[in-house]
Amino acid sequence: MPVINRIAADAPELTEIRRDLHAHPELGFEEHRTSAIVAEKLESWGIKVTRGIATTGVVGSLKVGNSDRAIGIRADMDALPMSEWNNFEHASKNPGKMHACGHDGHTTMLLGAAKYLAETKNFDGTIHFIFQPAEEGGGGGRVMVEEGLFDRFPCDFVFGLHNDGTLPVGTMTAVSGGVCAASDTFKITITGRGGHAAGPHRSIDPVVIGSHIVIALQSVVSRRVNPLDSAVLSITQFHAGSASNIIPETAWLNGTVRTLLPDVQDEMEPLMRQVIENTAAAHGAVAEFEYKRGYPPVVNSLEATERAAKAAAKIVGVEHVLRERRPGMGGEDFSYMAQKVPGCFVRVGQMHTSRENKGAHHPLYEFNDEILPLGASLWATLVEQELPRE
Ligand code: NI
């Protein structure tokens, strides 16, 4: 694969950076160590750094020549609140925190491109390296945009990437339109009447009613949403009770809804409310339903996608750039940036051949260091392509 030679030569250094970040994962808006490393490295390469956007976000700006064209490239820096099961040397040293989505790799790839571009300066224009906090639920991308990201650092286009363990190394995607789902969350509080477990007739059991609600909600997607549209409704938490002989007063259910189309997203809350409130009422309980809209869907602009595809083809060959692919139901807060500036979110295949592939958010997940030079080369190539010297 024609990765940029100079970046290939930096592969050992990039691997070292990535493994150091992996060993020291930090949660959203707490990426103090990570963002300090990012800022110091950018400065050491002569890149102008702005710190503290969205608390721990960092933007590195590199201007070469006189052109007023500018592009932004974004990487996420945060880890997940989970314990790592890997036992290699660079496994997480922070209990209960893990880079299980490869954001350590995304950050390192962008650093690799920044180093190369700062050294070679073979472009004319401005590149903003955007390192964002809190992709995993905190909406760091939204906060950066709200804090004036693109007013302070105007960009003609913005790009981002995610590693993808279902695609082989040497494969990239550049697909226009919707590529990631809207990601909403909800909380259900069922209030019954607590009492002795031996006298259920004197209680209203929120565990049984919660179970009915879990089952009843399954038919929202299967019976109420158009089968040609996509929706996911997952109940991920069910909390109630404190002892084997007590019927609890209250039960709490939490979960997530994923949709690809705005009108389907609009439908879900009222449909769910109908099922939840009426199922509870049918059993003499009261259910409170809170629905919170999360990340909007990521929609890739046609123009930005063509540009990303062209750069990707230079790295992996045109036959290894997927131009059509079903969207994923995962959420991604790159969406907030792509709503402001034409954007493209690409995926970079990272399938391991030497170990089992565990999906993102699995405690045995591992970023594949082989793809660090590929991602860094993609960004560097994209910059040289989009900001050409006259
Ligand atoms: Ni991720």
List the domain boundaries for the chain: 5-181+297-386, 182-295
CA 384 / ligand 1 centre spacing (Å): 26
pLDDT digits (tens, 9 = 90+) for 166-217: 999 999 999 999 899 999 999 999 999 999 999 999 999 999 999 999 999 9
Tell me the average pLDDT across 92-103: 98
Nearest Cα to Cα of residue 78 among 38, 114, 129: 38
What is the residue-averaged pLDDT of the chain?
A: 96
Contact status, residue 144 vs residue 54, Cβ threshold 8 Å:
yes
Q: How far is CA 11 from the centre of its chain?
A: 25
Q: How far is CA 181 from the centre of its chain?
A: 11
Pairing of strands 57-64, 48-53: antiparallel
Do you know the residue count of the chain? 390
CA 133 / ligand 1 centre spacing (Å): 12
CA 101 / ligand 1 centre spacing (Å): 5
CA 209 / ligand 1 centre spacing (Å): 35
Token pair recorded at residue 130:
């955007």
pLDDT digits (tens, 9 = 90+) for 230-253: 899 999 999 999 999 999 999 999
CA 201 / ligand 1 centre spacing (Å): 48
CA 106 / ligand 1 centre spacing (Å): 9
Q: How far apart are CA 146 and CA 363, in angstroms?
A: 33
CA 109 / ligand 1 centre spacing (Å): 14
Please report the pLDDT score of residue 354 as a whole number. Answer: 86
User: Tokens 């050992």, residue?
Assistant: 12
CA 10 / ligand 1 centre spacing (Å): 24
CA 123 / ligand 1 centre spacing (Å): 30
Please report the pLDDT score of residue 80 as a whole number. Answer: 98
pLDDT digits (tens, 9 = 90+) for 20-56: 999 999 999 999 999 999 999 999 999 999 999 999 9
CA 176 / ligand 1 centre spacing (Å): 20
Please report the pLDDT score of residue 260 as a whole number. Answer: 86
Reported as a pLDDT band with limits 50, 70 and 90, residue 137 is confident
CA 239 / ligand 1 centre spacing (Å): 27
- CATH for the stretch 5-181+297-386: 3.40.630.10
Phi and psi (nearest 5°) for 179? -120, -20
Q: How far is CA 317 from the centre of its chain?
A: 26
CA 131 / ligand 1 centre spacing (Å): 13
Task: Please say if the pLDDT value at position 2 is more than 80.
Answer: no
CA 268 / ligand 1 centre spacing (Å): 25
Please report the pLDDT score of residue 1 as a whole number. Answer: 59
pLDDT digits (tens, 9 = 90+) for 58-84: 999 999 999 999 999 999 999 999 999
pLDDT digits (tens, 9 = 90+) for 294-321: 999 999 999 999 999 999 999 999 999 9
Please report the pLDDT score of residue 328 as a whole number. Answer: 87
Contact status, residue 299 vs residue 178, Cβ threshold 8 Å:
yes
CA 156 / ligand 1 centre spacing (Å): 24
Contact status, residue 240 vs residue 188, Cβ threshold 8 Å:
no
Task: Please say if the pLDDT value at position 104 is more than 80.
Answer: yes
CA 224 / ligand 1 centre spacing (Å): 30
CA 177 / ligand 1 centre spacing (Å): 19
CA 276 / ligand 1 centre spacing (Å): 31
Is 5-181+297-386's fold the same as 182-295's? Answer: no
CA 108 / ligand 1 centre spacing (Å): 14
Please report the pLDDT score of residue 262 as a whole number. Answer: 79
Percentage above 70 pLDDT, the chain: 100
CA 312 / ligand 1 centre spacing (Å): 20
Q: How far apart are CA 134 and CA 145, in angstroms?
A: 13
CA 332 / ligand 1 centre spacing (Å): 7
Reported as a pLDDT band with limits 50, 70 and 90, residue 330 is confident
* Alpha-helical runs (H) found in the chain: 5-9, 11-23, 32-44, 103-120, 140-146, 149-152, 206-219, 262-282, 302-316, 334-340, 372-386
Nearest Cα to Cα of residue 315 among 115, 158, 169, 127: 169
**Domain covering 182-295 assigned CATH 3.30.70.360 in the classification:** yes
CA 357 / ligand 1 centre spacing (Å): 16
Please report the pLDDT score of residue 59 as a whole number. Answer: 98
Please report the pLDDT score of residue 355 as a whole number. Answer: 86
Q: How far apart are CA 162 and CA 168, in angstroms?
A: 14
CA 333 / ligand 1 centre spacing (Å): 10
